[in-house]
Structures are given as C-alpha cells and as structure tokens.
Chains A and B, each alone.
Chain A
Amino acid sequence: MTNAEILIVGAGHNGLVTAAYLAQAGKKVLVLEQRATAGGQLAGATLASGATVPGLHPAGQLRPVIVKELDLARHGLTMSAADAAYVSALPDGGSLRLVSSANDVATIEAIRRLSPRDAGCWPEFVGFMNRAAAFLDAAYSTTMPRLPKIELRWDGLPLASLALKLRRMGGKDMFRVMRSLSMSAVEFTEEWFESEPINAAIAGVAIHGVTLGSMSAGTGFTLIHNWLNRGGLAHRTTTGGPQGLTDALVKAVLTNGGEIRTGAGVAQILVEHQRVLGVRLESGEELKASTVVSSADPRRTLLGLVGAPELPPEFVWQTQSIRMRGSVAKLFVQTDGRHRLPEGTVAIAPTLKYLERAYDSTKYGEMSQDPYLEVTTSGADVMVHVQFATYALRNADWGSMRPELEKRAIDTLALHFPAFKGSVQSVQSITPVDLEQTWGLTEGDLNHGQLILDQIFFMRPLPGWSNHRTPIDGLYLCGSGLHGGGGISGTPGRNAARALLRG
C-alpha cells in the first residue's frame, strides 16, 4: 500500500531529481528502485559473479541551478572549484597535461612545446567552448517544441526566451555553435589547432560514452555536451564523489516528505484505456497512482513496462526505432599502489585515427584491438573506461570475451604506463551486458538512447513527444533518454518535474 500520488520508477540521479522537485512542491512521491541502492549509474553494485564494484562514474555534478533550487548544499553537497587536469598519453611516451581554463600558464606552456600557434588559440578555444556549453545548457533547460505540431500556448514562451538567450550570445558565436554541432571531432578540432596530440586529446572527450568515432558527424555536438557536463575536458569532483551526490539527492527527497523503496523493481506499469493506473512490482504487489514518472530508458519503459499492445502502432514503431547502442566497458583494477599513473583524468587518445579505428570495430561487431581508454585513480584503485566494446558482438558473446576485454585494456594502458602491469593485483570488469542486466540499461546504452543528431533536442526521446509525456495519460518520462540527457546533470529530471507541475 502507498498513499503516494506520484510513483517514480528508478532512483537514478534523474529520478531522484524529479522526486525531490515534486516533493518540494508538496507532492507525495514514492521512488521505486529495482536495485538494492539508489543512485543508478552513480551507484556501485554486486555483480552476478559476487564481486562488488564502486559506482560507474569517477565523478559527476549537477547543474548549479539544481543544486541551488533543491538546496543541496544543506544536504551536504559541495562542488569542487579546482580545475582538474586532463592528461593525454602521447605516442612518443610523453604526456600532455591540459587544464580547461583560458589562462592556465602551465597548459599554455605545454601546448607551446607542440605548437606556438596552438598555444595562442587555447584561450579563445576555452572561451568558445564555455559559451557553446552555456548555449547547450540554455537549450537543455528549455522544454523543446513538439515538432512537427507546435502549440504556441505551450511551446511559444520557453522558445522565445531561449531565442533571447541565444541573441545575447552574439550572432557570430551562435553561427559557430550551430555549425559545430554537426561537424565531426576531427573537422572541429582541426579548425582550431594544428597539433594532432591536442586534437586527439579533445576528440577523446567528444567520443566518450557514445558509439561514434572521431570522424563521425555529430561528434562536435557530443564534445560540447560532455564539456558542459564535465565543466571542461576533465571530470570535476564533488565532495564525497558520486556517492555524495546520490546521498544529497536522497536526503532532499526524504526531508521533503518523499519516500524511496529499494529492491522494488517495477514489473509492469498498469494502464487502462491509455491512462495510467499504477504499477505492479516484481513481488506482485500493486501500487495505485494516477501519475507515474519513469527514469528507466524510454524503450524499457514503453515497450517493456507498459507494453506495445497498449500503445498506438506508429508510436510503437518509433519507440522500437530509438537507437540504443552501448559500447562502453569498465575495469576496476586494484593495484599495489605502484602503478605510476598520473592524477586527474588520463586519456589514451594518441591520434585522431587511433580513435576512429577503435570505433571502426563496432561496425563489424568486434571489440577494439587498441581501445580508447580514460583512466582515473583513487590511491591504489584504478578505474578504466574502455571503448569500444560493442554490446552486439558478432561471433562471440560477453560471457567468453571478458578475459580478452581485460587483457586488451590492461595491455593498452601498460603500453603507455609500463609500471602499471606489474602493479595489478585484481581486476573486476563490467561489460555492456552487465550494464543491461544489473543497471537496467537496454543494450548497455548509458545514455538511454544514443546521442546522435536525430535523437537530440526536439527529437529526444521521440519527435512529437519532447514534453515528457507519452500516449498514456499520467505517464511521464524523466531519465537520460530525454532532452538534456545523458550524462550526469539532472536536467531531464528537473525538466520533467517542471512539465508535470505545470500540468
């Protein structure tokens, strides 16, 4: 039994943000999370093998407006102001250390050693990226029009205010941002810099977390997207790390009178005549509510939890067509501490072609021979992000490919940091299939739907449905598959709560 008016499926950070806003507005909310802990991808897990792993993210931050509106500082969240370092391992064995601020003397000096011309461009580049990210931030916090049918009453005002913000950016910048979105990381970076190591280092961030190569159209957009969420090239940490972020959100939900139930997987969203009635849990328990908000990915929510038979056929077809394509794996490596890896965010992205080749393999259903890696350390613990490890392997499966994944990642890292290999004591790995089974991500897609040009803005999650609603009255979506997602930002969660409260 529950007396909650609103049920929220999934306690990922977006589900929690939605819950906190609704609870703050006086709604009785109950968050239902299938896993034993809240936090979604920010939370660790016990794998089928029995091994436990920490959260999938080395870091993450919420948009400042959310921190402020939900008063998360009161719940223990503080953002780190320090500019983190992004270190790219170079083909010659050296490394390039970049801090994403316009006037960082050491960064400019490091770039000068590669190209004096590029050193001169760096401040302007950082300035542009920050303004482009601000543009994206403004667009993300604006609910998109339901193209092709615009209703001025609902869509007009937010769009007008977005247009105003854009105007303030200035015509030249705006044009340049628009142009950048559809470019590839290669084209985009080569317009700024002549030195390949710099371009490749930046391009690594552009393809991070997405199934795209450095030469894919639209990686100009994903670069700006990731820059926005990270606050630059490197991850920026919060106190208490990702767990601190989850804890603060949980507190915000609870202190506003909301409830959270973990170990409460939703098996079915109950529907009659295209109206939501509540949910049935995996335990068989039924909870009635006239509003359900799901932070599970749109495909899972609509085709899995609601079920195609309750939805209009064309909508079913559109939902089936959402491209979900995970190709990220993770390694958690315990070392004896003598790994000799630098601090900060370390990337193995030596050349632009290296990144494209790593991606190529996914086209053939194979794992990258020489993967792109991003590595963070916490004392003796080393966390390795591996791309590309496609969900859809062609002549193999993830049950048997795990040792090969671990070997390729460790060998690749050891190639640049030879001391690492000898320091390894134990390895835990997470494959795209683990992401699907343990974190509930369809096809292991971290973003709940690929971040590609035809699946963003008013086309996310689906054209015509950018208002967080669905063909089922009372069923809303709030996760990363919505406009503003993926990544850690909380924006889709905030937008969903606002759409719901607006009625």
Chain B
Amino acid sequence: MPELSTVHHPLYQLRRTPFHARTSQLCLPHNWRRWGGCLAAGSYDLGLDREYWAIRNHAALIDISPLIKYEITGRDAARLLHRLTPRDIHRMQVGQVYYTGWCDDDGKLLDDGTVTRIGEQSFRLTAAEPQYRWLALNAVGMQVQVTELTEQLAALSLQGPKSRAILNLACEQPVDSLKYFRMAFNRIAGKPVSVSRTGYTGDLGYEIWMDATDALVIWDALMAAGHDYGITPTGILAMDMARVEAGLFMLDVDYTSASHAWIPGQRSSPYEMGLGWTVNLDKQGYFVGRRALEREHREGSSWKLVGLEIDWEGLEREYAAVGMPPQVPASAVRGSIPVYAGPRQVGYASTSTWSPVLKKYIALVHLQQPYFTPGTKVEIEVTVEHHRRKSPATVVTLPFYDPEWKKK
C-alpha cells in the first residue's frame, strides 16, 4: 500500500511547535488547526467566549511559532528589505518594527508580515508563507545572508489590556517604556528573549521571541506571572475574531498571493488592501513593483478593502419574516459573501464575524469604486433558513475597534 507510506512520510505530517508539551495538555476538545505546516490549537474550550474575552479584557497567551521567520544580516541587509518592500527601510531605527506587505513587479501583494531592525545590519522578517526563493532572487548582487529561523525561533503573543502588567512581572526589565511597534531585548526566567509591542488583535499586546529550547520555561514563567491577571491560553479562532475587529486581514483568506493567483483578477495591490500608508513612493531607489504602484497611485484603485457593519434592524426583519430571532455565527466566517448595490453585485466580504465587544455583525469587504467610500449604503447576502436574502449594511473605515490603550 504505497499511499500509506506516503501519508506517513515526515513531509506530510504536521509539525509540533516548541510549546506542544503544554498546549497539547490544555487542548481538551482537540480542536486543532493547521497553520504553516504545524498543529495549532484552534481553541482550548468548546466555545470561544472565554478566550475572546481574555484578549479584550485581560490577557491571552497565543502560540504563534508557526509564523515563517527569517534573519537577514550583512552589509546590504537594509538594502535588500528596502528593495523588497514598499517601505523606506533606510529610515528605520534599530529597535523599530514595520508592518508591511511586499509585491511582485506588477505591484500585487505576495505576502505580508513584520520587519524588525535588530541591529544596524541585522533584521528579522516574518511572513505567512515561505519566501526564501523570493528573498534570494532579490538579494542577487548584494552582500547579505538570509537564514530561515522558523523552527529555531519560538514565539508567543501576549495580548490584552493586562499584558503589560504581566510582562513587567515576568521580565527582568520592565516593558513600560516600550513603545508601539518597537522591540527590545529582555530576559524571562533567565532566558534571553526579544519583546516587540506588536500583535494581531488590535489590543495592547506583545510578541515574545525566544530560542525554541527555552520555550517551555518561558511559557511556564508567563503563565505563573499572569495567573492573578487571568492569563488564558488562547487558540487562533478567538484571535481570528479579534483581528477582524482590528481590521487586519489574512493571506489566503482576505487576499490571494500574486504567486498563487490563477487569474490576474485574484491579485490585490497594497492600495486595494488599504495599505497605501505603507507604500512610500518618495523613497530612494528601485523597489519591487514601484512602477506599477506609481501608476495605481496616479490613476486610483478600482477596488478597496473596507469595513462593513450589517444593520441590525435589517437583519432582524429578515429573520422575523420566518419567525426567528437573528442568528449570528459563533466564530469568524472565512468565506466569500456577495455585497450588492441595488441589483448589482459590487463586491464581497472575505471574513465576517459577530463582534462581542461592539455587539455588531461586521465584515471585511472588498468593494469596487466608488462603493468603498465610508457611509455608502449597500446590501449583503444573508442566508435565512436556507433562503438567500439581502440585509442592509453600511461601509465604515477600518479598524472597527481601536481601544485607546492599544498605543498608549
């Protein structure tokens, strides 16, 4: 039976993250998901409420080790990232973190992640998908080393209003002075870590990067320090709801990488994804996609990712017609849902969710020009008792949820 042996080949098996010894003990419902070839806990409970509210009210501890990570060092390290991304990397200070997408030469997104300047000539890049070929291609003619650290470097995300207090207890140095999108070295349980004030929830939060061999000690130290603050191991499904509220999109869910697109129409530019703020057309020198992005900037984009709030009364009316109270999904829905202006479809939602903190039904939507203007009234399809209906909705700017403590 050759198929069996193929299935058992190590290549086809999901890897375990360095925290598996802890997360597997906690993941009672065995709600595992796949993330970057790893086993990732979807949730540690049958429902998502406890974990979701930990993100918004106290502190959630999320294993984000499956992120693809590269270390980029050498004389031309900054030059490589300056060429790769539309951001002005030469202006970046040591200890600064940039969020950015990067494009092919048609100005269409390939992936997105964070760039951290670790030192003058050393950077860390995170990505949703492996980028080695692309990095190597962009590095031709440069003096730079690209090393993948995905498996050596474990990472935890500590998100929520109490995350700072917990880190102050757990870390050797307080993190009070660490500003939004900055990184600093520190120690937890005597082990070296780097702590960046970043996250994927739109709340106050930190990401902690460590050697994989130190992973369990640091997990334990954080859980102990966070005990009195209600620290909660959290899976990626609750994070998925939080990231929609924060207006953050996800590769393969909210956009397709230009390297995987079957047809040109599946690709998206940074402008179309609302990342115009990351595109620095004034910066020096060539960067990949520059020409195409200049053109799009001049001529305007035909699509845009924006927020959509589904009007509650409209939803209520549709359900009332069949004698039911409105139904909302229990977790974020990753699926395309048509959006209409009158009889015409003018876009689609790519992720939609009930927002417990806002008490609203919200969605990340891709709309055609001019419907992406905030305040525009459109309709979104809802399936009411197996029948397709339309419910009124309003275009809003992202993010939906932006607590004052996020950047303070």
Contact = CB atoms under 8 A, between A and B. Distances in A.
Interface residues of A, number: 17
B105 A314 contact: yes
B290 interface: yes
Which one of B134, B137, B138 has the highest number of Cβ atoms from chain A below 10 Å of its Cβ?
B137
Interface in B52-80: 79
B290 A307 contact: no
A307 B134 CA distance: 17
B288 A312 contact: yes
A317 interface: yes
B286 A314 contact: no
Nearest to A310: B286
B285 to A, nearest CB: 8
A361 interface: no
Interface in B325-350: none
A309 B83 contact: yes
A311 B286 CA distance: 8
B104 A308 contact: no
Contact of A314 (B83, B104, B285): B104
Given A303-B140, A309-B79, A313-B105, A273 B286 contact: yes
A273 B137 contact: no
A307 B291 contact: no
A42 B12 CA distance: 59
A202 to B, nearest CB: 42
Contact of A273 (B79, B105, B290): B290
Interface in A277-326: 303, 307-317, 320
Contacts of A308: 140-142
Contacts of A315: 105
Given A314-B137, A316-B137, A317-B137, A309 B288 contact: no
Contact of B141 (A271, A307, A314, A317): A307
A274 interface: yes
Contact of A313 (B79, B138, B285, B290): B138
B141 A313 contact: no
A313 B134 contact: yes
A266 to B, nearest CB: 17
Contacts of B138: 313
Contacts of A303: 140-141
B76 to A, nearest CB: 8
B114 to A, nearest CB: 21
A265 B138 CA distance: 27
A320 B137 CA distance: 10
Given A273-B286, A274-B286, A274-B290, A309 B134 contact: no
A313 B137 contact: yes
A309 B142 contact: yes
Nearest to B294: A273
Given A313-B105, A313-B134, A314-B104, A320 B290 contact: no
A464 to B, nearest CB: 12
Nearest to B84: A313
A470 to B, nearest CB: 13
Contacts of A317: 137
A311 B290 CA distance: 11
A319 to B, nearest CB: 9
Interface in B269-290: 285-286, 288, 290
Interface residues of B, number: 15
Contacts of A316: 137, 140-141
A309 B291 contact: no
Contacts of A307: 141
Contacts of A314: 104-105, 137
Q: Which of A308, A310, A313, A316 has the most CB of B within 10 A?
A: A313
Contacts of A313: 104-105, 134, 137-138, 140, 288
B83 to A, nearest CB: 6
Interface in B95-139: 104-105, 134, 137-138
B78 to A, nearest CB: 12
Contacts of B288: 312-313
Nearest to A304: B141
A272 to B, nearest CB: 8
Contacts of A274: 286, 290-291
A271 B284 CA distance: 12
Interface string B130-163: 0000100110111000000000000000000000
Contacts of A272: 285
Contacts of A320: 140
B105 A312 contact: yes
Nearest to A271: B286
A271 B141 CA distance: 15
A6 B105 CA distance: 28
Contacts of B142: 308-309
Among A272, A303, A308, the most chain B Cβ lie within 10 Å of the Cβ of A308
B102 to A, nearest CB: 10
Nearest to A314: B105
Interface string A99-140: 000000000000000000000000000000000000000000
Interface string B283-314: 00110101100000000000000000000000
A314 B83 CA distance: 13
A243 B38 CA distance: 68
Contacts of B79: 309
A308 B80 CA distance: 11
Contacts of A310: 285-286
A281 B104 CA distance: 33
Nearest to A311: B286
Interface in A223-280: 271-274
Contacts of A312: 105, 288
Contacts of B285: 272-273, 309-310
A289 to B, nearest CB: 20
B338 to A, nearest CB: 32
Contacts of B290: 273-274
Of B138, B140, B290, most buried by chain A (CB within 10 Å of CB) is B140
B286 A309 contact: yes
A310 to B, nearest CB: 5
Nearest to A319: B140
A90 B290 CA distance: 62
A316 B137 CA distance: 7
Interface in A411-467: none
B307 to A, nearest CB: 34
Contacts of B291: 274
A273 B282 CA distance: 11
B343 to A, nearest CB: 36
A308 to B, nearest CB: 4
B316 to A, nearest CB: 52
A488 B138 CA distance: 36
A474 to B, nearest CB: 14
A454 B206 CA distance: 53
Most buried by A among B79, B105, B141: B141
Nearest to B289: A312
Nearest to A316: B140
B75 to A, nearest CB: 12
Contacts of A271: 286
Nearest to A472: B286
Contacts of A273: 285-286, 290
Contacts of B137: 313-314, 316-317
Interface in B230-256: none
B131 to A, nearest CB: 11
23 contacts: A273-B285, A273-B290, A274-B286, A274-B290, A274-B291, A307-B141, A308-B141, A309-B79, A309-B141, A309-B142, A311-B286, A312-B105, A312-B288, A313-B104, A313-B134, A313-B138, A313-B140, A313-B288, A314-B104, A314-B105, A315-B105, A316-B140, A317-B137
Closest 9 CB pairs of A and B: A308-B141, A308-B140, A312-B105, A313-B137, A313-B138, A316-B140, A310-B286, A307-B141, A309-B141
Given A308-B140, A316-B141, 8 more contacts: A272-B285, A274-B291, A309-B140, A309-B285, A309-B286, A311-B286, A312-B288, A314-B105
